[in-house]
C-alpha cells in the first residue's frame, strides 16, 4: 500500500507540469495583453508597453514559462498583475471559502443523493421511486447557472429571504451550497439506486435472506457496503470537480472564492494568478482521487489484499 501511495504521489508532479504548460499556452496564445486590459483603452501605448515589460510578458514564450517554473520550484508563486500582491496571499484569503463551499455541497449532495437512492432501490417501481428518479433526471439536466439565477429571482428578489450575493452571514451560504449540490445529488441518487439494485439481486443477498436475516440487516450490513464502491468513486470525483468547477456558482453569487477570483484574473490575463490557482485546485483534485483509491481498501478487503501482495 505504501509503495502504491508513493507512486501515485510522484505521478502528480508530471500531471501538474502538463496542466501548467497547457494553461500557460492557452493564456499566451489568447488575444490581448495584461497591460492593455488593466490600464484600459484610454492608456497610451507607451504606458501599456512599460507595464507589459514590468510583467515580463514581452519576453519569449519559453523564457516566460521557464522563469515561472523556476520561481515555483523556489516557492515563489509570483505576483498578481492586478492587485500587485503575492499570489499566495490573494489565494490564501479565498481558498477557505472554496473549500468550505465544496465540503458543504458534497455533504448536502451525498446525504440527499445516497439516502433517496437507497429508498428508490428498496422500493423499486413504487411512487416514491418514480418521483425520486424523475426529479433526479430533471435536476441533472438543469444547468447550474440557471438554477442559481432562478433561486436568486425567487428567494432574493421576490421573497427577500436570502441575500443574492456575498457571505456576510450563514444565509449567504444557503443558495450557493444548494446550487452546487443539486447536480451531485441527482447523479448520486441514480448511481446509488443502480448499484444497490445490482447488489440486492446478487446470490449472497438471496442467501442472507434465506438464512432468515431481517430486511434491514440485508440492506444495511450486506448490500450497502458492497454497493458503495462506485458511489465512493463518484464522491471523490465530485469533490474534486466541485473544488475546481464551482466557478459558475461563485460567479453567479459573487462568491469570494478561488473560482470567481480565477475568472476575473483570466479576463485580465493575470497569468501568475491563473496558473497558481489552477495548480492548487488541480493538486487538490489529484490528492482527493488518491484518498478515494486508498479508501477502497477499507471498504472492500479484496482490494486491500491486492495492494499488499
Q: What is the pLDDT of residue 217?
A: 67
CB atoms within 10 A of CB 17: 12
The mean predicted confidence, pLDDT, of the chain is 79
- Each residue's pLDDT tens digit, 240-268: 667 766 777 888 888 888 888 888 888 78
Cβ distance 68 to 276 under 8 Å? no
pLDDT band at 68 (very low <50, low <70, confident <90, very high): confident
Residue 33 near residue 269, CB atoms below 8 Å? yes
Domain boundaries, the chain: 34-76, 90-308
- The answer, yes or no, to whether residue 302 has pLDDT greater than 60, is no
SS3 (DSSP) at 246 = coil
Task: Quickly list DSSP for 3-21.
Answer: HHHHHHHHHHHHHHHHHHH
CATH architecture classification, 90-308:
Orthogonal Bundle (1.10)
Whole-number Å distance between alpha carbons of 65 and 67: 5
Nearest to 56 by CA among 41, 71, 43: 71
Looking at residue 244, its pLDDT comes to 62
How would residue 296 be classed by pLDDT, with cut points 50, 70 and 90?
low
The Cα angle at residue 96 between residues 266 and 164, in degrees rounded to 5? 70
Alpha-carbon span 43 to 160, nearest angstrom: 42
Q: Using CA atoms, how far apart are residues 272 and 26, in angstroms rounded to an integer?
A: 13
- Report d(CA 189, CA 115) in Å as an integer: 8
Mean pLDDT score, 227-251: 72
What are the CB-based long-range contacts (under 8 Å, 24+) for 11-17?
Answer: 12/283, 12/286, 12/287, 15/282, 15/286, 16/279, 16/282, 16/283, 16/286
The dihedral through the CA atoms of 89, 93, 94, 97 has a sign that is positive
* pLDDT reported for residue 305: 55
Q: Which three cell numbers stand for residue 186?
A: 441527482
Spell out the SS3 assignment of 251-301: HHCCCCCHHHHHHHHHHCCCHHHHHHHHHHHHHHHHHHHHHHHHHHHHHCH
Neighbours of 221 (CB within 10 A): 12
Amino acid at each position: 500500500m505504501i509503495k502504491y501511495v508513493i507512486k501515485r504521489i510522484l505521478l502528480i508532479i508530471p500531471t501538474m507540469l502538463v496542466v501548467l504548460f497547457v494553461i500557460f499556452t492557452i493564456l499566451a496564445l489568447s488575444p490581448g495583453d495584461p497591460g492593455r486590459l488593466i490600464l484600459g483603452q484610454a492608456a497610451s501605448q507607451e504606458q501599456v508597453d512599460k507595464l507589459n515589460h514590468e510583467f515580463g510578458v514581452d519576453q519569449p514564450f519559453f523564457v516566460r514559462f521557464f522563469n515561472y517554473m523556476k520561481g515555483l520550484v523556489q516557492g515563489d508563486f509570483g505576483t498578481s498583475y492586478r492587485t500587485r500582491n503575492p499570489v499566495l496571499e490573494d489565494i490564501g484569503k479565498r481558498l477557505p471559502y472554496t473549500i468550505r463551499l465544496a465540503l458543504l455541497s458534497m455533504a448536502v449532495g451525498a446525504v440527499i443523493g445516497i439516502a433517496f437512492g437507497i429508498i428508490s432501490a428498496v422500493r423499486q417501481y413504487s411512487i416514491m421511486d418514480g418521483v425520486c428518479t424523475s426529479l433526479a433526471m430533471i435536476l441533472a439536466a438543469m444547468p447550474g447557472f440557471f438554477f442559481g439565477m432562478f433561486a436568486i429571482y425567487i428567494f432574493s428578489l421576490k421573497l427577500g429571504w436570502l441575500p443574492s450575493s456575498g457571505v456576510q452571514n450563514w444565509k449567504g451560504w444557503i443558495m450557493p451550497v444548494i446550487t452546487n449540490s443539486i447536480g451531485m445529488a441527482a447523479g448520486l441518487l441514480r448511481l446509488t439506486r443502480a448499484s444497490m439494485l445490482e447488489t440486492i439481486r446478487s446470490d449472497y443477498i438471496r442467501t442472507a435472506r434465506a438464512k432468515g436475516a431481517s430486511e434491514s440487516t440485508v440492506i444495511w450490513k450486506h448490500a450497502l457496503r458492497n454497493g458503495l464502491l462506485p458511489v465512493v468513486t463518484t464522491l471523490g470525483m465530485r469533490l474534486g470537480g466541485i473544488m475546481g468547477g464551482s466557478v459558475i456558482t461563485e460567479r453567479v453569487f459573487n462568491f469570494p472564492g478561488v473560482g470567481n477570483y480565477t475568472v476575473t484574473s483570466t479576463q485580465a490575463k493575470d497569468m501568475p494568478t491563473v496558473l497558481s490557482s489552477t495548480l492548487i485546485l488541480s493538486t487538490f483534485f489529484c490528492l482527493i482521487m488518491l484518498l478515494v483509491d486508498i479508501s477502497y481498501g477499507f471498504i472492500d478487503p479484496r482490494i486491500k489484499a491486492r495492494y499488499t501482495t
